[in-house]
Amino acid sequence: MTAYRERIAAAGGGTRGAFASACAAWAEHFALQPNDGMYLAEAARKAVTLAEVGESLAVCCQSRTDVLQSMQRLFEAGLLTAVPR
**Per-residue pLDDT tens over the stretch 11-38:** 555 667 777 888 888 899 889 999 898 8
Residue 82 lies inside a defined structural domain of this protein:
no
Residue 57 placed within a domain:
yes
Q: Please compute the mean of the pLDDT values over residues 71-79 and round it to a whole number.
A: 92
Q: Tell me if 83 is assigned to some domain.
A: no
Q: Is pLDDT at 5 greater than 70 in this prediction? A: no
Per the model's pLDDT, the better-predicted residue between 73 and 81 turns out to be 73
Structural domain tally of the chain?
Answer: 1
- The reply to whether 84 falls in a domain is no
Q: CA–CA separation, 13 vs 24, rounded Å? A: 17
Q: What is the pLDDT of residue 6?
A: 66
Residue numbers of the domain that contains 42? 2-76
pTM of the model: 0.73
Tell me whether residue 68 is in a domain.
Answer: yes
Query: Is 47 among the domain residues?
Result: yes
Whether 37 maps to a domain, the answer reads yes
pLDDT of residue 72: 92
